[in-house]
Amino acid sequence: MSSYQEKIIKPKLGVLELAKQLGNVSQACKVMGYSRDTFYRYKELYENGGEEALIEISRKKPILKNRVADSVERACIQIAIDYPAYGQQRASNELRKLGILVSPGGVRSVWLRNDLETFAKRLKALEAKVAQDGIVLSEEQVSALERQQSKREAHGEIESQHPGYLGAQDTYYVGNIKGVGRIYQQTFIDTYSRVAFARLYTEKTAITAADTLNGTVLPFFDREGVPLLRILTDRGTEYCGKPDSHAYQLYLGIEDIDHTRTKANHPQTNGICERLHKTMQDEFYSITFRKKLYRSMEELQVDLDVWLKSYNETRPHSGKYCYGKTPMQTFLDSKDLAQSKNIGRVEQAIEQDVECGPRELSDSAPQTALAVR
Q: Is 159 exposed, middle or buried (0-12, 13-18, 19+ CB in 10 A)?
A: middle
Fold of 167-370: Nucleotidyltransferase; domain 5 (3.30.420)
Q: What are phi and psi of 183, to 5 degrees?
A: -120, 125
The residue ranking higher by pLDDT, 327 or 161, is 327
pLDDT confidence of residue 369: 40
Name which of 186, 206, 197, 216 is nearest 368 in CA terms: 206
Concatenated DSSP letters of 303-333? HHHHHHHHHHHTS----TTTTTS-HHHHHHH
Q: What are phi and psi of 259, to 5 degrees?
A: -125, 125
| 297-326 mean pLDDT | 90
Q: What are phi and psi of 171, to 5 degrees?
A: -110, 135
Is the pLDDT reported for residue 252 higher than 90? yes
- Mean predicted lDDT score pLDDT of the chain: 82
Task: List all residues 6 or more positions away from 235 whose beta carbon is below 8 Å from its beta carbon.
Answer: 261, 262, 264
CB–CB of 42/32 below 8 Å?
no
Confidence of residue 355 (pLDDT cuts 50, 70, 90): low
pTM recorded for the entire structure: 0.55
pLDDT confidence of residue 156: 46
pLDDT confidence of residue 149: 62
The vertex-251 CA angle with 357 and 264, nearest 5°, equals 150
Confidence of residue 368 (pLDDT cuts 50, 70, 90): very low
pLDDT confidence of residue 335: 87
pLDDT confidence of residue 353: 52
pLDDT confidence of residue 306: 95
Give the pLDDT confidence of 49-101 residue by residue, as tens digits.
Answer: 787 777 765 555 555 555 778 889 899 998 988 888 888 998 999 899 899 98
Name which of 221, 227, 222, 230 is nearest 257 in CA terms: 230
